[in-house]
Structure formats: C-alpha cells, structure tokens
Amino acid sequence: MFKTIKDLPRDEYLAPGHRLCAGCTVGTAVRQILKASGGNVVVVTATSCLEVSTSYFPQTAWRVPWIHLGFENSAAVAAGIESALKALRKKGKSNEDFHVMVISGDGGTFDIGIQALSGALERGHDLLYICYDNEAYMNTGIQRSSATPYAAATTTSPPGARSIGQRTHKKDLVGIAIAHGIPYAATACPSYPIDLMNKVRKGLDVEGPSLLHVLTPCTTGWRFDPSLGIEIGRLAVLTGLWPLYEVDRGVTRLTVQVPKREPVRKYLELQGRFKHISENEINKIQEIADKNAEKFGLGPIKE
C-alpha cells in the first residue's frame, strides 16, 4: 500500500520525451501505473494516442516490454501472452514470472475492443486491463465514442440547430466488467495518484482478471488550458461526475470521499467542449452527478 507521495517508487518506466501533447494527463497516468507495477510487467496497448506517441520508430518511451497489435484486440493479445507464460512455466520451459497489463484508450475499450475485452474477462485470464478514458477518439481528431459524456461537443457529435452535441450517455464500463464476475474493478484518475497506484497494485495482485477505468482529461479534445489537466480531473471527482470507487470481490466501496461536492457547472465551464450547452443540459448533467452521489454515498453540494 502506498500511503503518501513519499512512498512512491523513484523508478521511471515511461521515459520523458514521448510525443503526447503538452498537458496531456495520459502520460501522467501511465507514469503512475508503471511505478505502481514495479516494472515486472508486459504491457499491451491498442492503437491510440498513447501508442503513436510512445513508439515512433526508432524511438521508444517504454522501459518495460511493450506490444501493440491493432485497435480492437489488446485484450486478446494479453490473453495470449498470459496463456503462453502459464503453459511454459507449467511445462518447465520457462522460469520467467511477470504480470500482463493492458493500457488502452476508450475507443479501443468501449467500442471496437469490447468483444475481445469481454472474452478475456469471461475466460478468467490473470491480467489487469486499464482503460485510459479521454472520452473520445482523440488520436484521430476528437470523434465521439461511447465513452463521450452527454452533451459534449466532438467533431462527430457537433452541436447545431438540431443537436446538443453527444446525445447519449457514457457506458458503465466498471459495471460491464463486474457483470463478468471478475474479482476486482475500479475507477481512478491521475489527479489522485495514491488512489490510482493502490488500485493498480490491487489489480495486479488479485488472481484473475481485473479492470481499472482511468479518467484522463484531454487538453486538446476537451479544450482547456494545458496547465489545467490535473485540476479538471480533480473537479470531475469533486463534482461527483467521476466517483472514485472499487468493486473488490463483490463489495463496492468509495475510495475517495467528497464531503462537500462542487456543482458540475464549475467542471463544465472550464472546458470548450461544453461551451455550447444551456441551463437545461447543465441541469441534466447535475442530475448525473447527484445520482452518482446517491449511489456511492458522496456528500451534498457546497452551498
């Protein structure tokens, strides 16, 4: 267990100089994830911002073994690695022992990769699947995914005379994962590094599949100042829009309590993607936060 920032390992497994945008919180999240892993891990990543920004030949930002195959199959690749290691160890052909981890985006998880993810979770492979969620296809230029929140503007859910932006609501990824009967799933955000890293540790240490859903605010796609990424992540949590919780062997527990919630307006008004929305939409988004508060036991809104 990591208790304070002083407990964090000094080892760095994601080298500086990668090509993620200035102010991108994905690099921050991956740095925390890999620190928590201790480095004895094979990482699989789907085609994504993270993939193109860290593996541009002849450079690499990865100091751990890393593989990328396609957009939709990171969970299947991880399943193959885990099974191979298991078989080779069982047959006395290998004495290697490492964790297998996926770090893929919301498009590669919620949309095109959900079939492979469901298969891997159902079969019970011993792996940790981490979805870093910047709430749209940012790598291809901000198109909506099924992780894009209600009313957000993207290039394929633009607001207009007949559109309020994204008309659907975000899928419940942790709910989907837990429905497979897996032992551990949780939400996280790099604005809360201790919480995130302890959840990575739990996910790795538990036997069987585990899933971590990490919110990673995107300066480019959400249209906020690059200095605000961590602040926006914090506001997502403090408004109740991104409750930090875990489901550990069937027991749901809030891991970061918010005694006094911020109104969602405070979160929304910092982001260009919500610039077009009216009071009506703000109220609807407030309702989402209120429902979360009720479900997970968050405090009331600040007066």
Partner 1 sequence: MKRVALSGNYAVAYAVKMADVDVIAAYPITPQTPIVEKLSEFVADGLLDAEYINVESEHSALSACIGSSLTGARTFTATSSQGLAYMHEVLFMASSLRTSIVMANVNRALSHPLNIWNDHSDAMAERDVGWIQFWVNSVQEAFDATIQAFKIAEEVLLPVMINLDGFILSHINEVLILPDEELVREFIPSKPLFNRLSPKLAYTIGVVGPPEYYYEMRYQIIDAIERSRKNINEVNREFGELFGRTYGNISTYMMEDADYALITMGAVSSTAKIVVDSLRKEGEKVGLISIRCFRPFPKNDIIEVFEDVKSIGVLDRALTPGGIGHPLFTEIVTTLYDSSKIIPVQSFVGGLGGRDITIDDFKQMYKIIKDVGLSGRRKPCIYIGLRE
**What does the binding site for partner 1 look like in residue numbers (CB under 8 A)?**
39-42, 44, 51-52, 55-58, 60, 62-70, 72-73, 75-81, 83-88, 90-91, 93-94, 96, 98, 115-116, 118-119, 122-123
CB of 241 vs partner 1, minimal distance in Å: 32
Q: Give the residue among 221, 253, 257, 251 at the shortest CA–CA distance from 237.
A: 257
Nearer to partner 1, 30 or 264 (CB): 30
Nearer to partner 1, 3 or 57 (CB): 57
- Cα distance between residue 197 and residue 230, in whole Å: 16
Nearer to partner 1, 208 or 263 (CB): 208
Helix (H/G/I), strand (E/B), else coil: 129: strand
CB of 93 vs partner 1, minimal distance in Å: 4
- Cα distance between residue 177 and residue 155, in whole Å: 29
- Cα distance between residue 154 and residue 138, in whole Å: 9
- The DSSP annotation for 180-248 comes to TT-SEEEEE-TTSHHHHHHHHHHHHHSSS-EEEEEE---HHHHT--GGGHHHHHHHHHHHTSS--EEEE
Helix (H/G/I), strand (E/B), else coil: 194: helix
Q: Which uninterrupted H or E stretch holds 41?
A: strand 41-44
Nearer to partner 1, 71 or 222 (CB): 71
Nearer to partner 1, 62 or 184 (CB): 62
CB of 167 vs partner 1, minimal distance in Å: 30
Nearer to partner 1, 89 or 167 (CB): 89
CB of 42 vs partner 1, minimal distance in Å: 5
10 neighbors 43 (Cβ within 8 angstroms): no
CB of 1 vs partner 1, minimal distance in Å: 23
Tokens of 289: 């936060």
Q: Which uninterrupted H or E stretch holds 198?
A: helix 193-205
**Angle (CA) 274 223 302, round 5°:** 55
Nearer to partner 1, 181 or 272 (CB): 181
CB of 66 vs partner 1, minimal distance in Å: 5
- Residue 84: CB atoms within 10 A of its CB come to 13
CB of 98 vs partner 1, minimal distance in Å: 5
CB of 30 vs partner 1, minimal distance in Å: 14
Q: Are strands 245-248 and 251-254 parallel, antiparallel or unpaired?
A: antiparallel
Nearer to partner 1, 94 or 283 (CB): 94
